[in-house]
């Protein structure tokens, strides 16, 4: 929650006029506890997981035949019931695993220094932090993914993710609950090492989800 009662008080504290983005942020977040702002991430995860894969769903159902030439498996079309089964599984995982994890991780977010205060970060700061997050996540995810392909980890955990042998965007987070927890660590490692503003934190997890959907789309 911002420690200012008005825009004027915020501008006086910063010693300058607020930007348009900062005024919007003030109006949205001034009366919201930091815990509520932190929990926005689960809402964003559910929203973007629902909307972002839709173009790939339509292609996978064979609605756009001219797109088949761009598919890894051009002769494979999935059915709606199979896709909806995948969607329900992932949404259930979001509610039962990711949501509670977001709640209990709030003290950690406070500890590493993810801030909600003014001023907002500059575009260059956001850009370079996101770049660093992607590099850290890509490197650490690679090694954890290799670990998940060892015999024991594959049979007990990772095989669930490979149930969809013809990849679809919806299957990006389709996995065993333990894999969701383990692979959440690389995504969190960047913000933990290079903490920033919560808007950067939100943007990072949105972009990471969009990237995962695209790379699993086939």
Q: What is the pTM of this model?
A: 0.91
Q: How far is CA 194 from CA 25, 26, 40, 79, 134, in A?
A: 22, 24, 20, 42, 12
Q: What is the pLDDT of residues 95-121, one digit of tens each?
A: 999 999 888 999 999 999 999 999 999
pLDDT of residue 164: 82
**Total residues belonging to the chain:** 218
Question: Under DSSP, is residue 167 helix (H, G, I), strand (E, B) or coil?
Answer: coil
Q: What is the pLDDT of residues 140-186, one digit of tens each?
A: 999 999 999 999 999 999 999 998 877 788 889 999 999 998 988 99
pLDDT of residue 60: 76
pLDDT of residue 89: 93
Question: Under DSSP, is residue 218 helix (H, G, I), strand (E, B) or coil?
Answer: coil
Match 């003014």 to its residue by tokens: 118
pLDDT of residue 58: 84
Question: Under DSSP, is residue 16 helix (H, G, I), strand (E, B) or coil?
Answer: coil
Asked if 109 and 163 touch (Cβ cutoff 8 Å), the reply is no
The residues spanned by each domain of the chain are: 1-32, 33-215
Alpha helix locations (H) across the chain?
Answer: 7-14, 20-29, 34-38, 40-51, 54-60, 80-93, 99-104, 106-112, 123-148, 151-156, 177-193, 198-215
pLDDT of residue 191: 95
70 pLDDT higher than 90 = no
Answer with the residue of higher pLDDT: 207 or 82.
Answer: 207
**In 3D, which of 115, 117, 124 has the Cα closest to residue 198?**
115
C-alpha 139/C-alpha 117 separation (Å) is 31
Q: What is the pLDDT of residues 10-55, one digit of tens each?
A: 888 888 888 999 999 999 998 899 999 999 999 999 999 999 999 8
Contacts of 32 (CB under 8 A, 6+ apart): 1
Encoding tokens for residue 200? 């950067």
């Amino acid at each position: 929650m911002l420690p200012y009662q008005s825009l004027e008080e915020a501008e006086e504290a910063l010693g300058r006029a607020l930007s348009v983005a900062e005024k919007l942020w003030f109006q949205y977040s001034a009366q919201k506890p930091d815990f509520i702002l932190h929990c926005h991430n689960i809402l964003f995860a559910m929203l973007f997981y629902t909307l972002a894969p839709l173009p790939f769903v339509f292609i996978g159902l064979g609605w756009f035949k001219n797109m088949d030439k761009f598919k890894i498996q051009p002769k494979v079309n999935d059915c709606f019931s199979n896709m909806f089964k995948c969607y329900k599984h992932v949404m259930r995982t979001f509610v039962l695993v990711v949501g509670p994890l977001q709640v209990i991780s709030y003290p950690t977010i406070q500890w590493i220094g993810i801030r909600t205060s003014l001023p907002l970060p500059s575009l260059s700061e956001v850009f370079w932090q996101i770049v660093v997050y992607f590099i850290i996540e890509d490197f650490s995810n690679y090694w954890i993914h290799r670990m998940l392909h060892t015999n024991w980890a594959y049979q007990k955990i990772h095989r669930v993710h490979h149930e969809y042998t013809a990849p679809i965007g919806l299957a990006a987070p389709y996995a065993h609950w333990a894999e969701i927890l383990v692979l959440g660590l690389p995504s969190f490692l960047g913000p933990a090492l290079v903490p920033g503003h919560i808007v950067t934190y939100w943007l990072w997890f949105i972009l990471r989800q969009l990237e995962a959907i695209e790379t699993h789309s086939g």
